[in-house]
Amino acid sequence: MTESTSPAPKSNKTPARPTLKAVRGTRDLLPDQTPLWNHVESTARALFARYGFGEIRTPIFESTELFARGVGEETDIVSKEMFTWEDRARAASEKAQSLTLRPESTAGVVRAYIEHQLGNTGNLQKLYYIGPQFRRERPQRGRYRQFWQIGAEVIGPQSSGSESPLRDAEILEMLASLLTELGIRDWRLELNSVGSAEDRVRYNAALREALAPIKHQMCEDNQRRAETNPLRVLDSKDEADQALINTLPKIADYLSPESKAHFDQVLAALDACGVPYHLNPRLVRGLDYYTRTTFEFTVTTGLGTQNALLGGGRYDGLSEMLGGPRAPGIGFAIGEDRLILTLQAQAEADNISTAAPKLDAYIAPLTPAQNPAALSLARELRAAGLTVEVGDGTFKLRKSFDIADTLARHIILLGEDEAATNILTVKTFASGEQTKVPRAKLAGALR
């Protein structure tokens, strides 16, 4: 912070500088918001630790090619939603390269897994991350250009058990526990298997064949999807097309015996844990890398049309797509912004405040002469672990009380008497009780 010692004289003629604002789709989280964010994040961290996950922090930008190869060139995310720029070479030893703000984190995590040869440990890697992601979409409630995801990946060589249906079920059970622990009430788990890469090829062919004679009866979007990505037709919300969509072949009928057995074991483990789910044969994910188990948790409170709270699935071929060893994996990403919106909407419905808790004490020096002693007392109490704010001796007592009541549970009056005797006057707002407390016993009395 720099202090301006010689303020320029203000002239009425000086045109005001244009106000700078957070750019479209980004926002500031102010101190009235961040306690809830921190609560969500610390709850997630503690829970992930119980499941043996460790935190990974990957760069916020990566080479564009990573996302092109990992997420898929043809996906909307890569083809039209990325913040990409050309980073020019600055020296002969540097190469110009295309860089991109990460639109999701799984590709980066798998890149790190390959780069650091984490598979060579032979152990299953359980990694989680919390951080911002960037997509150039039209902003809306629950959809921002910089948004936050809390995600986790389970990945490793086959010998580590990374392909086991137990991993899928463990992830889903963990998510159910997290949402429950956070107090999300009306979550719903939608579950599907999109099969192995080979299953998908056969299913896609069947879909195209089934769509060919009927697609012209569908809406424009679905006609386009029928050509470019038939799976996405299943996702369509177009009401008029629903009847036709229901006649299309089901992915379940195209799963190989292995894929089906895998999925059945996932379901069996979920049943054993008592985690409720809804099979949704039309649940397909937008990223190319998903295979077999795919899922989505939705909520009905607070999000409007953006009701997907989190999504994820298995990505058995992603490592190879990025030039790495065979390393099956499964992961998810929670839309933290949406999670917060849901919690806030619930709190509002319940008439519960999400405000930060009050400070333990507010110290009110009664005259400016008491200011130094007030700060010294604050230092002592803070060192003892209390949360403390200090007023100012120029404030009138009434103002001190007003401020103190909005901020803190107790007010400590520090005037000449108190300074002389080292016995402080403490008033508790909740009870209205006022007592004299020796300085040495103050910290204990305020807890």
Contact positions toward RNA, by CB under 7 A?
15-16, 21, 23-25, 75-77, 81, 104, 135, 137-144, 147, 149, 221, 225, 232, 235-238, 285-287, 296, 304-306, 308-312, 333-335, 337-338, 366, 396-399, 401-402, 405-406, 413, 415-418, 425, 427, 429, 432, 434
* Residue 155, beta-bridge partner list: 125, 329
Task: Using DSSP, state whether 148 is helix, strand or coil.
Answer: strand
For 322-370, where are the alpha helices, taking DSSP H only? 336-349
State the Cα–Cα distance between residues 68 and 439, nearest whole angstrom: 65
Asked if 153 and 115 touch (Cβ cutoff 8 Å), the reply is no
- The token duo for 248 is 């299309």
First to last CA, the chain: 34
- Give how far the C-alpha of residue 230 lies from the chain's centroid of Cα atoms, to the nearest Å: 30
State the Cα–Cα distance between residues 352 and 344, nearest whole angstrom: 9
Parallel, antiparallel or unpaired: strands 97-101 and 84-87: antiparallel
How many residues in the chain?
447
State the Cα–Cα distance between residues 419 and 445, nearest whole angstrom: 18
Task: Using DSSP, state whether 393 is helix, strand or coil.
Answer: coil
* Backbone torsions φ then ψ of 68, nearest 5 degrees: -60, -45
Closest approach of RNA to the CB of residue 248, in Å:
16
